[in-house]
Structures are given as C-alpha cells and as structure tokens.
C-alpha cells in the first residue's frame, strides 16, 4: 500500500512537471506570435486585460498548494516509515552502490553469456563423437537436480520479499528527493509551508463556517415556512370561527324572534282568559237575575194559588 501511495505521488509530480512544461511552451509560442504582431500587443495593453495575469496567479497559487499538500504527504510518509536525513543519505548511498553493483552484474552477465556461448560452440564441436558419455552426464545431472531446485524454491520468496522491500525503500527515497528538489525550486521554506498550511486551515474553517451558515439559513427558511403554514392555518381557523360566530348570531336572532312570538301568544292567551272571565261573570249575573225572576214568578204563582184556594174555600 505504501508503495502504491508513493507511486501515485510520483505520478502526480511527473504530471505537474509535464503540465508546467506545456505551459512554458505555450508561453513561448505566445511570445513569438506577439513579436509578429506588435499592433495586437498595443491593443491588448490599451485594453488593460488582467485576466491572463490573474489566471497565472491562480494557477501558481494552486500549484503551490498542490506542492504543499504533496510535501505534507511526503512528511507524513517520512514519519510513518521512520525516515531521517541520516537514513535517507545511507539509503541514497545504498541505492548508488546497488546501481553500481547492478551495472557491474550486467557487465559480468554479458561476459558470462559470451563465455557460455563460446563454451557451447566448443561443446558442440566436442559432442560430435561423444554422444553416449554426454547422455550419462545428463542423467547424473538430473539426479542431482531436485535437491538444488528445492533449495532455489525456498530461497526465491525471501529474495522476492527483500527485493520488494528494497524497491519500496528506493521509491520512497526517490520521492523524497523529488520533494526536496521541488521545495528548493519553488523556494518553499518551513515558514512559507506553515503559512500555507494556516491558509488552508483558514479556508477549511471558512468553508465549514459557510456550511454552518448555510445550514442555519436552511433551518431559518424551514422555520419561516413553518411559520407561514401556521399563519395560514390560523387564518383558516379565524375564518371558520367568524363563520361559526355568524351562525350563532343568526341562531340567536331566530331564538329572539321565537321568544317575541311566544310572548305575543302568551299576551293573546292572557287577553282571551280575561275576556272569558268577564263573560263568565256576565253569564253568572244573568243566571242570578233569571233565578231571581223565576223565584218571583214562583212566589207570585204560589200566592195566586193560595188566593185561589182561599176563594174556593170561601165559596
């Protein structure tokens, strides 16, 4: 994983270098075109277009930020792998020695191959009349072969692991050397790196503050929407209450009208009752008068009867 990460960092550095080379070529081409057309340069200067300068400054700043991040990653890798200046110098010396030994080994291998080719040619010449002896020698070599192959198979994983570890260390050393060269080329010091890190931290803080402000604005907007919805619900409830109040007033008016009608009917009943009592009294008085007249008639009849009886007796 560390080797893969180191390869990615190296690829990023190489890509940045290629991009810078392309930008330099474009600038050179642009300079040639400007030399061919001085009138265009005069017009551009008159217009005072600062966009290319701003773009160049932005590109330079972005490149410096990328290099700072790359250096921070390199520093983290140095700490993670425990690489110091002494160990880096020793590793560089080991790499140089390994390169020298590799070159010497290649040279020796080429010489050995040349000697082997000469021996093969000589062996072919000697083998023309000695086929039987050569077969026996080949059988003996085959009997001795398995043990040798077993030893070589046991040593191969260890050698591969050592080679991978050494290659990883070499890649890390090359990466650190390139980082150091880039630091020197861009004039990056501990103070400028600290200032850039502070700027990055400030940018991160401002970004976080902007996100927080945006979240607060969204929360306020949600509260505002909820308040508007509550206000609309209150308006609806108020309209419903007004409608209910109007219905209650209409019902009260109807009840008052019914009460007035009931009072009028009661008054009419009272008047009718009073009229019936007067008629009853008049009827009673008439009945008494008729009774008195009847009694008088009876009395007169009795008196006449008595007079008639008395007259009959006298006769």
Report the residue count for the chain.
315
Identify the pLDDT of residue 68. 73
Question: Does any domain span residue 213?
Answer: no
Distance CA(57)–CA(29), nearest Å, equals 20
Kindly state whether residue 205 falls inside one of the protein's structural domains.
no
pLDDT digits (tens, 9 = 90+) for 84-107: 666 656 656 665 666 666 666 667
**289 CA to centre of own chain:** 114
Quote the pLDDT of residue 85.
61
The pLDDT of residue 32 is 47
Angle in degrees, CA 219, 222, 227, rounded to 5 = 125
> What is the Cα–Cα distance from 81 to 93, expressed in whole angstroms?
18
* In-domain check, residue 148: no
Instruction: Please indicate, yes or no, if residue 268 is contained in any of the structural domains.
Output: no
Q: What is the pLDDT of residue 149?
A: 54
For 88, residues 6+ apart whose C-beta sits below 8 A from its C-beta are 173, 176
Whether the pTM exceeds 0.85: the reply is no
3-state secondary structure of 48: coil
Pseudo-torsion of CA 136, 141, 147, 151, nearest 10°?
Answer: 180
Element (H, E) at 275: helix 190-314
Contacts of 40 (CB under 8 A, 6+ apart): 34
| Domain-located, residue 118 | yes
Which tokens sit at 314? 């006298």
In whole angstroms, what is the distance from residue 76 CA to residue 82 CA?
A: 10
Residue with tokens 């082997």: 116
pLDDT of residue 142: 47
In a domain, 139, yes or no: no
Both structure tokens of 26: 């474009």
- Tell whether 67 is covered by a domain: yes
- DSSP-derived letter for residue 200 is H
Say if CB 6 and CB 172 are below 8 A apart.
Answer: yes
Tokens of 173: 């050393």
Number of domains in the chain: 1
Q: 3-state DSSP call for residue 82? A: coil
Q: Does residue 10 form part of some domain?
A: yes
State the distance between the two ends of the chain, measured CA to CA, in whole angstroms: 177
- pLDDT computed for residue 144 by the predictor: 45
Q: Of 158, 24, 6, which is closest to residue 81 (Cα–Cα)?
A: 6
**Residues 6 or more apart whose Cβ sits within 8 Å of residue 149:** none
> Residue 177's domain spans which residues?
1-27+57-123+163-188
Answer positive or negative: Cα dihedral of 156, 158, 159, 160: positive
Sign, CA dihedral 211-216-219-220, equals negative
Give 104-136 pLDDT, tens digit per residue. 666 766 776 777 777 777 777 776 666 555 555
Residue 79: predicted pLDDT: 72
Of the candidates 166, 178, 164, the residue with the CA atom closest to the CA atom of residue 73: 178
pLDDT of 143 reads 45
Q: Which two tokens stand for residue 135?
A: 């077969």
* Phi/psi of residue 49, nearest 5 degrees: -75, 115
Residues of the chain falling short of pLDDT 50: 1-3, 25, 27-30, 32-39, 41-47, 140-145
């Amino acid at each position: 994983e560390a080797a893969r990460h180191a390869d990615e960092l190296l690829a990023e550095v190489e890509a940045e270098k290629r991009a810078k080379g392309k930008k330099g070529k474009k600038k050179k081409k642009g300079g040639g075109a400007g030399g061919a057309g001085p009138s265009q340069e005069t017009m551009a200067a008159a217009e005072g277009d600062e966009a290319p300068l701003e773009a160049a400054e932005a590109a330079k700043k972005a490149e410096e930020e990328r290099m700072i991040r790359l250096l921070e990653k390199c520093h983290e890798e140095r700490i993670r792998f425990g690489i110091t200046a002494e160990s880096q110098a020793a590793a560089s010396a080991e790499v140089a020695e390994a390169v020298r030994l590799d070159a010497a080994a290649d040279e020796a291998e080429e010489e050995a191959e040349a000697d082997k080719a000469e021996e093969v040619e000589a062996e072919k010449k000697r083998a023309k009349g000695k086929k039987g002896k050569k077969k026996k020698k080949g059988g003996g070599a085959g009997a001795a072969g398995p043990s040798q192959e077993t030893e070589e198979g046991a040593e191969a994983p260890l050698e591969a692991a050592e080679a991978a570890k050494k290659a990883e260390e070499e890649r890390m050393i090359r990466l650190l050397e390139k980082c150091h060269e880039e630091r020197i080329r861009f004039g990056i010091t501990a103070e400028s790196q600290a200032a850039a890190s502070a700027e990055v931290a400030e940018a991160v803080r401002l970004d976080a503050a902007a996100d927080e402000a945006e979240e607060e604005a969204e929360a306020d907007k949600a509260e505002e929407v909820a308040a508007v919805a509550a206000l609309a619900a209150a308006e609806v409830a108020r309209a419903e209450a007004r409608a209910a109040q109007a219905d209650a007033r209409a019902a009260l008016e109807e009840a008052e009208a019914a009460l007035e009608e009931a009072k009028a009917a009661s008054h009419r009943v009272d008047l009718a009752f009073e009229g019936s009592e007067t008629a009853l009294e008049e009827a009673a008085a008439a009945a008494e008068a008729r009774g008195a007249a009847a009694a008088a008639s009876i009395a007169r009849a009795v008196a006449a009867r008595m007079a008639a009886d008395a007259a009959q007796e006298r006769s």
